[in-house]
Amino acid sequence: MTDANKKFLVGVYDDDDVALAAVTKVKNAGVKIYEVYSPFAIHGMDTAIGHPRTRIGIAAFCFGVTGFLCALTLTTWTMGVDWPMVIGGKDPISLPNYVPAMFELTVLFTAFGMTIAFFITNGLGPSVKPLLFDSRCTDNKFVMAIDLSKIKCQKLEITTLIKASGAEEVSIKQI
Amino acid sequence: MHVTSPVRNPLVTGGKTYADVTEDICRQVEGKPSKEWKAAFLLSFIVLLYGTCCVLWTWWEGLGVWGLNKTVGWAWDITNFVWWVGIGHAGTLISAILLLFRQKWRTSINRAAEAMTIFAVICAASFIVMHMGRPWLAYWALPLPNTFGSLWVNFNSPLVWDVFAISTYFSVSCLFWYVGLVPDLATIRDRAQNKISKYIYGTLAMGWNGSARTWARYEYISLILAGLSTPLVLSVHTIVSMDFATSVIPGWHTTIFPPYFVAGAIFSGFAMVQNLMLVTRVVYKLEDYITVEHIEMMNKIITLTGSIVGVAYLTEFFIAWYSGVEFESYAFINRATGPYWWAYWAMMTCNVISPQLFWSKSIRQSVKWTFFISVIVNIGMWFERFVIIVTSLHRDYIPSSWAMFSPTMFDIGDYIFSFGLFFTCFFLFSKYLPVINMAEVKGVIKSTSEKLPKKVSGVSKADRLASPVYKKDVE
């Protein structure tokens, strides 16, 4: 993460429904939410915060097409061009027979390409230090972080707002 | 918004909170290994060592140590291969197909079932490598340009399709499993008390922090992976069945094989999941997560797939007669009444009759019965592959080459090897990784029933202060 030395207001919620409702409340009050951290996926949370829809599906499709074209090239070139062979009286290039290999390679490329893209876009990697505002967010708490440098109104005002939205703890953390 | 159904029972019983889920599942990973675990692990490791000796001797001496002869050229090796691959299918069915069908009960069993898949596929692959006889040349099955000329592998051959299918299936299953593990590894990382486990789980968790952005993408790729794995898993056993079906051997040359093999695979796979989970839930005290309801659901799938298999057996038999081909009819009559009649009827009893007992609700809900029938089903499914392979081969076109197959100690030893390998892997998994997907279980804990208490989150303040994990935060 590049947001070094920033002050964040951190609200800790103990229920997913409360956290989801709080996001809408805080957003309606005109406060921009940096991110919400939760121990499991909460449906609708990303749209409630206002994150754009993920485009990883497009990446997956591109990897799939790449895999398919590679497989098509591999099978037809090896069987039909480089060393043409007639097997079982069929044409050297008999596409229906290559469907299994082409299918498997398409799946392989899509799955690996997409998952690697997933790790890269999320900034995840073996030596990455996690940005944790509260370590309980991987256990049973729902943590809302607000970047104070991007907020115009008073700290006290937001603290009251966050508390009113159902947070059980509110604190300021420097990351 | 949570949608709840008034008729369904809760998937997780015992009024568990989110913190309870973490606590219950992490306990095994964080605690010292129990005596039972050590004993079980040691036993499977000894079995693995014995099996390894047998496998090494098989490689050293050659395939002549097996009971194969020039008529029966495939026997236990391919039987074991198909059996293990079939077992692997249940894991993908649970994690991918049930995800697409939005079956929330999968969340308590998908992690262990996927682990089972991976280990079963490793066992299956070991038989493929073994039956090559010269395993150091296994790479010849890959489409590599070689130094012997520019001859390539034959993409028209189902054996080459198998290479692609099994390796893709294995690697995509590992990927799916690992992606699902990341959030839980982060949970363990954040609870870890000592530096070593914090480092190991921290590295494996890849810096996961559960942000809404990450979760949204996670859900998205899980769905795509499920969408990919579904046709993948069906393709794998379809291709395995084509190893037989594209040949011209009577008894193998049938178009019914792909669906019949896939149903059989799911059938035996679920039986193995039952065997593993029934023990795991008792040993790890996970009865609130893997409830009788879960067991019943799996039993229903066993009954369904068992019935499909039964219909397939009968169809095969009918078509063999109806085709009017003398050799086809003979292959089937010989199976049922020839010298291998006992294998055929063992298969029929175990696979067709025994799962029908699950029509009775009390049997379906009984843990003991479920365990017993699951073992029977697995035995039956092994016999199915043995019947298909050996009885179709042993009486050739020329009566002078008719033969019987009898296993040697290396056939048996190599089979034992796969059990040692499977259970060693499974025990390591069950100790060092969370056996239940915590993140997914937390996600469904509220949304499955309105019979649940309204508030499932949070712990009482006293609990929080008492727990060592929270002490840090309070300080």
At residue A158, the pLDDT reads 84
At residue A31, the pLDDT reads 86
> Which amino acid, residue A22?
A
Residue-averaged pLDDT of chain B: 89
Q: Let me know the angle formed at the C-alpha of B376 by B259 and B278, rounded to the nearest 5 degrees.
A: 100
* pLDDT tens, position by position, B257-304: 999 999 999 999 999 999 999 999 999 999 999 999 999 999 999 999
User: In this structure, what DSSP letter does residue A51 have?
Assistant: P
Does residue A92 carry a pLDDT above 90? no
CA distance B294 to B422: 24
CA distance B385 to B394: 14
At residue A128, the pLDDT reads 87
Going by C-alpha positions, the residue among B320, B383, B372, B400 that lies closest to residue B349 is B383
Residues on chain A touching B200 (C-beta within 8 angstroms): none
CA A8 from centre of chain: 22
From the list A17, A57, A124, the residue facing B207 with the nearest CB is A124
From the list B168, B212, B221, the residue facing A46 with the nearest CB is B212
- Residues B345, B348, B350, B354: is their CA dihedral positive or negative? negative
CA distance B329 to A102: 36
* pLDDT tens, position by position, B395-422: 988 899 999 999 999 999 999 999 999 9
* pLDDT tens, position by position, B104-132: 889 999 999 999 999 999 999 999 999 99
CA atoms within a 13 Å half-sphere pointing along the CA-CB vector of A8: 21
> Which amino acid, residue B47?
V
Q: Do A16 and B446 touch (CB under 8 A)?
A: yes
Helices B76-92 and B367-386, axial angle in degrees (round to 10): 140
At residue B472, the pLDDT reads 39
B213 interface with A at CB cutoff 8 Å: yes
pLDDT grade, residue B93 (50/70/90)?
confident
Helices B158-191 and B18-30, axial angle in degrees (round to 10): 110
Is B448 buried (19+), middle (13-18) or exposed (0-12) by CB count in 10 A? buried
pLDDT grade, residue B189 (50/70/90)?
very high
Helices B110-131 and B158-191, axial angle in degrees (round to 10): 140
pLDDT grade, residue A149 (50/70/90)?
confident
Least confident of A65-69, A149-153, B20-24, B390-394: A149-153
A38 to chain B nearest CA, in Å?
A: 5
CA distance B442 to B399: 64
Q: Which of residues 107-126 of A touch B (CB under 8 A)?
A: 107-108, 110-112, 114-115, 118-119, 121-126
At residue A1, the pLDDT reads 46
Measured between alpha carbons, how far apart are the two ends of chain B, in Å? 35
B37 interface with A at CB cutoff 8 Å: no
Helices B158-191 and A95-121, axial angle in degrees (round to 10): 10
CA distance A22 to A161: 9
Does residue A3 carry a pLDDT above 70? no
At residue B220, the pLDDT reads 93
**Phi and psi torsions of B403, nearest 5°:** -150, 170
Does residue B169 carry a pLDDT above 80? yes
From start to end of B249-323, where are the E strands?
Answer: none
B186 to chain A nearest CA, in Å?
A: 7
Going by C-alpha positions, the residue among B182, B187, B186 that lies closest to residue B19 is B187
B1 to chain A nearest CA, in Å?
A: 7
> Which amino acid, residue B271?
A
Residues on chain B touching A78 (C-beta within 8 angstroms): 143, 152-153, 155
B91 to chain A nearest CA, in Å?
A: 17
Query: How many other C-beta atoms are found inside a 10 Å radius of the C-beta of residue A111?
Result: 28
Q: Residue A9 is inside which H or E element, if any?
A: strand A7-13
At residue B444, the pLDDT reads 86
Strand-pair partners of B173: none
User: In this structure, what DSSP letter does residue B389 have?
Assistant: I
DSSP codes of every residue in B425-449 = HHHHHHHHS-SS-HHHHHHHTTTT-
Residues 6+ apart with CB under 8 A from B32: none
Does residue B16 carry a pLDDT above 90? no
B225 interface with A at CB cutoff 8 Å: yes
Spatial contact of B365 and B33, defined as CB atoms under 8 Å apart: no
From the list A38, A118, A128, the residue facing B207 with the nearest CB is A128
pLDDT grade, residue B240 (50/70/90)?
very high
At residue B56, the pLDDT reads 95
pLDDT grade, residue B227 (50/70/90)?
very high
- The whole model's pTM is what? 0.91
